[in-house]
Structures are given as structure tokens and as C-alpha cells.
Amino acid sequence: MADPNTRQPTLVPYPMFNPGEDAKRLNAALRDPTKEVATVITILTCRSASQRQEIVTVYKDQFNKMDMVEEEIGFDDEEKLKDLYQEVKSGYSGKFSKLMRALCRPPFEYLAQEVKKAMAGLGTDEDVLTELIAAAFKMHFGKTVEEELDNEYKVSAEYKELLGMLLSGIRDERRECDTDKARKRAETIFNAETNAWSTETKIFMRLLTHEPYTQLRLIFDEYRKISGQSMEEAITTEFSGDLRNAMLTIVKCAINRSQYYAEKLESAMRGLRFDDYSLIRIVVSRCEIDLGSIKNEYLKIYHKTLYHQIQMGTSGDYRNALLAILGDP
């Protein structure tokens, strides 16, 4: 079975990387940020996350040492110490500033911040929260996500349990697919549906959070053969609320991750007002993983390029930076 989740990034490590030179150029540019914005865009959008973090470290070390000599300040004078993130924050504003600051942060720190955002406000954005956890990584808070949700937000116990399984689960994507096991798993799911889902919900949740995506796709195919309906249709019928939405997010990522993100991007750019929060999150978090694949899927589904859609819906430095990360049309 061909893997629909082949990963094609748009941003790769810069081959002639020199963190000292990049830090020097950024320091000069940020002295007059409006005039030298092209330099900031060129460097931050054309270096990998690990390279950007090297620049952040060198920037702090190199230019704080210079300032200490010139102004006789100490490292305990935190307000006077230079930090690339803070320099970008003070030099720019609006959506462009948010995008540049996202690029200055370590990836997991940035994603942890996005998880916090998904849990903030009047209610929890379960779809985004599940996407962030399911698609990529394990979070490291002072307290667990489950505790955070327990203490402050209204979500169901089953949803919290599913997130816990996602955080603790390990998918061994190197494991070979097993059609016989997939068929047996599909039969178990179908029998649970025809009897009482409630008694098998935890088993199904564990399957969604631990099985390799390639094996999940086999299970979903076998389930369709047995039941005559897709796994998404079964979940929509049998579950409700935040648990249903979370399960659907996992299933969609398992079936075709690039399609999932292409649809998310189209939703973010639909209508008169862009959802720049989602646009920045997806572009920054996926550019070194599979943004190229997402671009291809977007064209396949919507018959227009993602490049053109962003070009038409954004403007100025914000547009230039997004398109630089996106790469060729």
C-alpha cells in the first residue's frame, strides 16, 4: 500500500550556514528594523529550526558581551541584555511580528505555547489541541496536559483520557503492517459497535493512540470491507462532543496527514478574514516536515496553489515571509 503521508519539507538546513555572520547581520538590521526587514526575513525564513537556535545563542552571547564592555552592565541586568526574540518583538508588530517570533523560538517551546493557547479563553479548542498533540510530539509542562485541563477547562473525562494516551503512547512506525491483525482489530471494532461501544471505547482509544499510522490505515480499510462504512462515519455515528472530534482528527491524520493540513489551511483562508493564528501555526510547525506535501495535496483538492492563495490573501512583509517559507509555487 502506498503511503499517502510521504513527507516533503519546504525548509531544509542552509548549506553555507554561519551563525556568527547571521547574528551580526541580524543585529545590524534590527538597529533599523523597518529599513532592513528584508535581511531579517531572508535569514529567519531560510534557516532550519536548529540553525535558528544557534543564531539565537550566538546573538545573545556575542552582542551582550559587546554591550557589557561598552556600557559596563552585568548579566544580572536582564532588561539591558539583548535577546533576538525580544528584539524582534520590539522592532515589529502585528502578524509579521508573530510569525518572526514563532521562528525565533525552539520548536517544542513554540508548540507548547500553542497548546496553551488552544486551552485558553472562554473554552478549549479541542480540534487544535488534539492536532498539536496527535500530529507531532510529547509536551513537557510543569504539570501534565490532563492536570491542566482538569484544573481549568471544561472537557469530558474521555477526552482527557484520550489526550493522556496520546502523550504516553509510542507509535513504532518501523513495524511492518500485518493484514491478519488488522482484520481482527476491525472485527473487534465492528462487534463492539453492534453490541455496546461503551464497553470497548478504551480499547478503541488505545488502538487510535498506539498503532502505527500504516497499520491504522489497514484496519480502517478492513473495517470498511466488514461494515460497509468508513471509520469516520462510524465515529460520527457512535460518539459525540470533544471525544468524537478528537478521534476524527486522529483518523484524518492517519489516513492522509497532508490532506488534513491542506483542509485546515483552506478553512483558515476562507472568507473575508484570515485565521492567521492557524496559518502561522501550520506553516511554522510543518515547514521542515511535510509542508511541500501539504502544498501538493492543496493543489490536488482545490485546483489552486497554496502559494497563490497566500499571496492573494496577505500583504507586505507578512506575505513575503510566509511565501519565503512556502518556497516555489
What is the tens place of the pLDDT at every residue in 120-152?
654 556 677 777 766 544 444 445 555 655 655
Confidence bin at 156 (pLDDT 50/70/90): confident
Class of CATH domain 19-105: mainly alpha
CATH no. of 179-239: 1.10.220
CA–CA distance from 310 to each of 234, 262, 325 (Å)? 35, 13, 12
29, 87, 93, 253, 306 from 97: Cα distances, Å = 15, 10, 5, 30, 22
pTM of the model: 0.85
In this structure, which topology does domain 256-318 adopt according to CATH? Answer: Annexin V; domain 1 (1.10.220)
Task: In the chain, list all ranges with CATH 1.10.220.10.
Answer: 19-105, 256-318
How do residues 266-297 score in pLDDT, each as one tens digit? Answer: 999 998 788 999 999 999 999 999 999 999 99
Task: Assess contact for 214 and 6: CB atoms under 8 A.
Answer: no
Quick one: which of 27, 29, 43, 28 has its CA closest to 82?
27
8 A C-beta contact, residue 49 and residue 56: no
**Which triple of cell numbers denotes residue 316?**
507586505
Going by C-alpha positions, the residue among 218, 214, 165, 219 that lies closest to residue 190 is: 219
Average pLDDT over residues 53-76: 69
User: What is the grid cell recorded at 287?
Assistant: 515547514
Residue 295: the pLDDT is 97
Alpha carbons 26 and 19: distance in angstroms, whole number: 10
Distance CA 270, CA 82 (A): 39
Cell of residue 303, nine digits: 485546483
